[in-house]
Amino acid sequence: MARISNKVVVVTGASSGIGRATALAFARQGATVVLAARRDAALHTAAEECLDVGGRAMVVPTDVTDQEQVNHLVRRAIEAFGGIDVWVNNAGVIAFGRFEETPAEMFEQVVRTNLMGTANGCRAVLPHFLDRAEGVIVNNASVVSTVGQRYASAYVASKFAVRGFSETLRQELVEEPGIQVCTVMPGSIDTPLWQHAANYTGRAVRPPGPVTPPEAVADAIVQLAVKPQREVFVGGAGRFAELQHAMAPGMAEAAAARLIEREMFENRPAPETDGALLHPIDDRHDASGGWMEPEARRRGVSWTNVALFLLPIALMSRPLHGVR
């Protein structure tokens, strides 16, 4: 971790959830952290926490869907600290609802934030990295960049695209060994993403178990900055889900659909809401969403248990000669 001290790290979506935990994780290692998100007050609170644990911090309110605002973020970081070493594209939003019941403009806003926000960040920082011939980009793509999830079509589409975009960028930078593009793929994480979600299902949502703390994702991102890798799963479900889907996709999709129906909803109604898609929400600024507290962590079957149960079946059901 000595390699992290004195590095300059930009984190988008840093006002809460994984982004906030990531900023704190870098600050604990002595890094200078530039925090970006739409919520100015929450960013300043997060910056104070970074200072308290030994890092340096600067706040630059930024909407990642606006390329000029992201360009400004890069300029401010370079002017203040002389350069950028690590860029974390983490800003993200989610909408829950059947595809046909999700408003088209909200579907587009999810893609605009998650995919175009990532592309805007890379477009802004890459010239700087190319000039220096070094730098690390970490894109947050989620476990649903490998398998689908019922009631989250826009989010899944955007995260599949982020993973593919990251792979393509690695190919384009193959002659630039000093510039690394990493993809982190968290599973179900205890963050306020769920409270900030748009919801058109009529039911209250919750993260399906097992729920992983945001600090685990933050630690993985810090490790990627130290020792870059192409892709890293965080949480117990990712590799199992990907493997069973590759071996028996029909069975895996049916099992995942039933599991989401059973695991992702509270036993109470919820009003329709656009959540934080268009405007930030003032509450829930912490890294944690409170889902790992005993009274909130009501889960039955876990993704890991389902994967372990289905894996032998998937192996036995594997089609011959590559025929699906």
**Cα–Cα distance for residue pair 97/15, rounded to 1 Å:** 25
Rg (C-alpha) for the chain, rounded Å, is: 19
Given 81, 87, 155, 165, the catalytic residue? 155
Known catalytic residue at 200 = no
Calculate the CA dihedral of residues 153, 155, 160, 162 and round it to 10 degrees: 150
Q: Quick one: which of 23, 110, 124, 20 has its CA closest to 73?
A: 124
In the chain the first and final C-alpha atoms are separated, in Å, by: 45
A 10 A CB-CB count for 105 gives: 11
Q: What length does the chain have?
A: 324
The residue type of 286 is D
Helix (H) or strand (E) holding 234: strand 231-234
Angle at 25 between CA 19 and CA 26, to 5 degrees: 95
- Looking at the annotation, which residues are catalytic? 155
